Chains A and B, each alone.
Chain A
Amino acid sequence: KNQVEQSPQSLIILEGKNCTLQCNYTVSPFSNLRWYKQDTGRGPVSLTIMTFSENTKSNGRYTATLDADTKQSSLHITASQLSDSASYICVVGGYNTDKLIFGTGTRLQVFP
Chain B
Amino acid sequence: DTAVSQTPKYLVTQMGNDKSIKCEQNLGHDTMYWYKQDSKKFLKIMFSYNNKELIINETVPNRFSPKSPDKAHLNLHINSLELGDSAVYFCASSQEISAQLYNEQFFGPGTRLTVL
Contacts and interface: CB of A to CB of B under 8 A. Distances in A.
Partners in one complex: yes
Interface of A: 31-32, 34, 38, 41-46, 49, 51, 87, 89, 93, 96-100, 102, 104-105, 107
B66 interface: no
Label chain B's interface by main secondary structure: strand
A98 B103 contact: yes
Sorting the interface of chain B by its residue count into under 10, 10 to 19, 20 to 34 or 35 or more gives: 20 to 34
Q: Ordered nearest first, which 9 A-B pairs have the shortest CB separation?
A: A43-B107, A32-B102, A102-B43, A44-B107, A104-B42, A43-B109, A98-B48, A98-B97, A43-B108
Label chain A's interface by main secondary structure: strand
A51 B102 contact: yes
B4 A43 contact: yes
A18 to B, nearest CB: 24
Nearest to B9: A41
B114 to A, nearest CB: 14
Interface string B88-115: 0010101001000111111111100000
